Structure 1
Amino acid sequence: MDKITLTGVTAVGHHGVFDFERRDGQPFVVDAVLHLDFSRAAVSDDVLDTAHYGEVAERIRGWITGEPVNLIEALAVRIAEDVLRSFAVAAVDITVHKPKAPIEVDFGDVSVTVHRVRA
């Protein structure tokens, strides 16, 4: 299976379990790996025969800036399911990073990753 990797889609969202996270917002970063077969696109050389990564990035940004959820796990699953519904991919890996998570110790990043396969 071939892959398109899209990393670092960043926007401010209002996700989190604490009131101040919902009120103030914070940056979220999403990485996506789209698993699909490039055979048709390689022959046609047409963007319609692949997953348009620009459109994927816009949809991801919409989820980040959209309706708040408590957990980044929920956000990751919603993005993955949307990508599967909206694009001709066989599977998708979505990683949601929350680099400014309200953790009381020094840390570099916190992230969750989900893998979903077309049924």
Structure 2
Amino acid sequence: MKKTLFTTAMLSIFTLGYSQYGVTQYRDPARIDMSSSINAATILQNRHNSNVRRVQNTMDNIFRELERKSQSDDEKNHLDYLFTEKCIKKMPNIQYSSDSQTDNIIRFLYDCINYEMKNN
């Protein structure tokens, strides 16, 4: 009796549980608009290239300013060393496609060299 009741209960659970899902209907995958994808990739690449140029121009400007402020070759070499070792090599990695991260790295470079010049 218990065995029959258990079997009937399990059969009912499986039947009711399965019937609520029904048969799965599959659709064709959605078409991807390749022109939009290519356009988005181009925009990101252009932003990346622009921000890399901004950071490089900032570094070039700082090097020029250090050279201009230097009184001697030794001082220029020391300032170049400080900027390279203490600032450029310590720059955090960023996503250059992000304008805000690029702004932060430019601010970091200026803050870093100003700090190093005051304390060295």
**TM-score of Structure 1 vs Structure 2, range by shorter chain:** 0.3 to 0.5
Q: TM-score, normalised by structure 2?
A: 0.33
For normalisation by structure 1, the TM-score amounts to 0.33
Rg bigger for which structure?
A: 2
The structure whose residues are more often helix, as a share, is 2
More strand by share: 1
